[in-house]
Structure formats: C-alpha cells, structure tokens
A and B are shown apart, each in its own frame.
Chain A
Amino acid sequence: AQSVTQLDSHVSVSEGTPVLLRCNYSSSYSPSLFWYVQHPNKGLQLLLKYTSAATLVKGINGFEAEFKKSETSFHLTKPSAHMSDAAEYFCVVPNAGNMLTFGGGTRLMVKP
C-alpha cells in the first residue's frame, strides 16, 4: 500500500514569509497525491492534486507543490504567508479504489 509521511507536525512562520510544508511518499510507482487543508473547526478542502500531468501543481490561495520522483517528495509551498493560511494541512495518497491514506498532518501557525 502507498503511504505518506509529513515531516513536521508544526510549522510557524511570520506573515509575509515563505511557507514550506514537507511530505514524502512511499510507492513503487508514481502515485497520485493530494494536499488538503482544514481550517479550525471546519471540514477538509482540496488544495491541489498531482495526477502525473505536470510535476509543478498550482492550487488555490497561491499554494503550489512540486512532485519530485527522485526525492519521493511532494512539498507544499507558498511565497508569502497570510494570516488566513493558519490551518492544518494534510498530504494524502489514494490507495485502492477511492480510499485515501492521510499523513499525520502539519499545523501551520502564522505570526503577525
């Protein structure tokens, strides 16, 4: 089965500085990969998805992620953090059928 590991449980940045949330995957082939965001007391929203069409994927709210097969990584980045980006972020890989396997999550804190 495919799996993902999020390398940081908490990340803290200042408003206006870059964001980097790290995700490594484990798979015997190039998987599909997703990033979901969960704002406090809310459900999950899809940020972006990689499905092998292009290695650099742009998502909503200025986020993007780059699929690097050589590093088995799919890190999420944003050039400039905004206070509204404070949330929990999940790297996700689909397994058989529609089943999703989640990473442990990274809580992003944005300081003014």
Chain B
Amino acid sequence: NAGVTQTPKFQVLKTGQSMTLQCAQDMNHEYMSWYRQDPGMGLRLIHYSVGAGITDQGEVPNGYNVSRSTTEDFPLRLLSAAPSQTSVYFCASSYLRLAGGRTNNEQFFGPGTRLTVL
C-alpha cells in the first residue's frame, strides 16, 4: 500500500512552458485534491474531485487544469507556467463519506512536488 504518490519531486520550468504533475493513490479514495503551499499562507486548495469524471475549482484555480479519468489518478496541468506558480504542490486523498453520512474524513497527503518557474 503506497498511499499517495507524487511525481516528480522537483521541477524547474521556464516561463511559458507547460507540464503535468502526477498524483496517484491506491486506497480507493473517492476524493482527491491539489493544494499549493506558500510561505506564511498555509496550503490553499487549487482543484478537487469527488470521483472519476467530476472535478471542481478550489480557492486558487487560475492557471491550472485537472481531469479525473480513473479513481486512482488526478494529474494537475500547468498550461503556461508563470513565476507566481513557484510553490510546493501537494496532492491529497480521502474517502468521501464516513458511515453515517459525515464528510470530515482524514485526508492523506503525498510527499509534494517542489516547482520553480524561472
């Protein structure tokens, strides 16, 4: 059971380049999400998905695209990288509902991808 995995661990891009950050989980979690972490700001939600084929925007979605074709994978695409997207990116997953209908489940985080845009 690998949990949540992310690749690559580090990436340097030039302004205007595109790339895809990969995220995969093997826990059969319905919910997956992407956060970015910037100093002093905690983590901010970029996009999330409640199941295959369903995605929605979080707090800071501009400049990023996502898709969810399988339960396991939730890639994050940067269409045209900008220096403001220099950050550490975390993917997380969880079950969507607890027994009894509650939705506040523990989220499991990947190790992160450190992205620098020059």
Q: Which residues of A contact B (CB under 8 A)?
A: 9, 32, 34, 36, 41-46, 49, 51, 90, 94, 97-100, 102-105
Q: How many residues in B have their beta carbons less than 8 Å from beta carbons of A?
A: 27
Give the interface segment out of B36-44, B70-78, B79-87. Answer: B36-44
CB pair A43 B109 closer than 8 Å: yes
Most A CB atoms within 10 A — which of B44, B92, B102, B104? Answer: B104
Q: CA–CA, A41 to B110, complex, Å?
A: 11
> A43–B44 Cα gap in the complex (Å)?
15
How many contacts between A and B, using CB within 8 angstroms? Answer: 60
Whether B33 pairs with A98 at a CB distance below 8 angstroms is yes
Shortest distance between the CB of B102 and any CB in chain A (Å): 8
A112–chain B nearest beta-carbon distance, Å? 26
Considering the complex, which residues of chain B in the window 79-111 have a beta carbon less than 8 Å from any beta carbon of chain A? 90, 92, 94, 96, 102-107, 109-111
What residues on B are CB-neighbors of A45 within 8 Å?
A: 109
On chain A, the residues within 8 Å of B41 by CB distance are 104
Residue B50 is within 8 A (CB to CB) of chain A in the complex: yes
> Does the CB pair B111–A42 fall under 8 Å?
yes
Type the 1/0 row for B9-40, where 1 means its CB is closer than 8 Å to any CB of A.
00000000000000000000001010100001
A97: which B residues are within 8 A, CB to CB? 31, 50, 96, 103
Cross-chain contact B43 with A99 (CB below 8 angstroms): no
Judged by a CB distance under 8 angstroms, whether B61 is at the interface is no
Apart from the given pairs A9-B40, A49-B106, A102-B42, 12 other A-B contacts in the complex at a CB distance below 8 Å: A34-B106, A43-B109, A43-B110, A46-B106, A46-B107, A94-B104, A98-B96, A98-B104, A99-B45, A99-B58, A102-B43, A105-B42
CB–CB A105/B40 < 8 A: yes
B106 pairs with A43, CB closer than 8 A: no
Name the residue on B nearest A44 (C-beta): B109
State A105–B102 Cα separation when bound (angstroms): 26
